[in-house]
Amino acid sequence: RQAYVNGRYQPHSDAAVHIEDRGYQFADGVYEVVPVYNGILVDEDLHFDRLDRSLAELQIEEPMSRPALKLVARELMRRNGLSNGFVYMQVTRGVAPRDHKFPKDSRPALVLTTRQMKPHSPQVLAEGLKVITVTDQRWDRCDIKSVSLLPNVLGKQAAAEAGAYEAWQVDGDGMVTEGTSTNAWIVTGDNKVVTRDATHSILNGITRITLLELIKAEGYSLEERSFSVAEAQEAREAFLTSSTSFVLPVTQLDGKPIGNGHPGILTGKLRHHYMDYMQ
């Protein structure tokens, strides 16, 4: 298995960046996780659009042109024989002596890796996932896909320790923002699909964007708005989305069953629509 590091393909096992990379010292960088499904990079232009936006918001230069980056991603997939999984891309502000302000003459550092992924287990699809809630401790620019992920790491660890898959983060008003690495959705008693509107409080997931389009095209009723933990607790269904989860049912929140405790019917339909879309 190989990785791409600053212009070179190297064995993954000893690929390394410099100790004074600002990603390492300051988490001064951004990333993308692009799903690969049956050999295809799913929604790759939406991922590249979001990468460009994250870079622009942090005034980090683009490390190379989009066509060049697409070629590197494909070459790495080829070398690694990747047909199902994801490509991880990370851009940091580069290497410079440690000093908080932007360095004058650093070049952005670019790393790509791939990871193979197995299909989601039939058990997860049949039983759904457990989710806990945690306080959202993040900053007010969660729309930037920054590698600064400590609150997300702590939330996911808390979930794991509680035997759950994900933690839904809750803002100061008791409203769910999103998971630590996924967007959060519920289906209300009158079959409305609800997910938080894409402000600076959440990462606007590419899976979220595409699923919203599919929901509109299928004519399901939809509300992009905040929902509280209490509303989620009483929802008929719940699910989460991401580039690695696609659409996965949530059947338990803080130890209490959601709806009848089984994966929702509409959730199942939306998962199918999304899987069909990726084909």
Cite the active site residues: 145
DSSP letter at 121 equals P
Nearest distance from residue 209's CB to ligand PDD, in Å? Answer: 8
Indicate whether 207 belongs to the interface with ligand PDD (CB under 6 A).
Answer: yes
The smaller minimum CB distance to ligand PDD, of residues 203 and 253, is found at: 203
| Residue closer to ligand PDD (CB basis): 44 or 178 | 178
Question: How many residues are listed for the chain in this entry?
Answer: 279
Q: Does 243 bind ligand PDD (CB under 6 A)?
A: yes
Q: From the CB of 260, what's the least distance to ligand PDD, in Å?
A: 27
Binds ligand PDD (CB under 6 A): choice among 12, 17, 27, 33:
33
Q: Should residue 205 be labelled a site residue for ligand PDD when binding is judged by CB under 6 A?
A: yes
Q: Which lies closer to ligand PDD via its Cβ, residue 95 or residue 167?
A: 167
Sheet holding 29-37, edge to edge: 8-11, 2-5, 109-116, 85-92, 29-37, 40-41
Residue 167: exposure state from Cβ atoms within 10 A (0-12, 13-18, ≥19): buried
Distance (Å, whole) CA 62 – CA 49: 12
Please say which residue, 33 or 222, places its beta carbon nearer to ligand PDD. 33
Residue 129: name the closest of 78, 185, 173, 89 by CA.
185
By the rule CB under 6 A, 203 interacts with ligand PDD = yes
Give bridge partners of residue 78 from the DSSP assignment: none
Distance of CA 15 to the CA centre of its chain: 24
Task: Determine which helix (DSSP H) or strand (DSSP E) holds 251, and give its type and residue range.
Answer: strand 246-253
In whole angstroms, how large is the CA radius of gyration of the chain?
19
- Report the nearest approach of ligand PDD to the CB of residue 85 (Å): 12
- Which residues in 161-190 contact ligand PDD (CB under 6 A)? 178, 181-183
Range in contact with ligand PDD (rule: CB under 6 A) among 60-68, 77-85, 236-244, 254-262:
236-244
β pairing state of 109-116 and 85-92: antiparallel
Query: How many chain residues bind ligand PDD (CB under 6 A)?
Result: 15
Which residues within the stretch 82-121 sit at the binding site for ligand PDD (CB under 6 A)?
A: none
146 binds ligand PDD (CB under 6 A): no
Residue that is written with structure tokens 């190989």 in the block: 2
Binding site for ligand PDD (CB under 6 A): 33, 152, 178, 181-183, 203, 205-208, 241-244
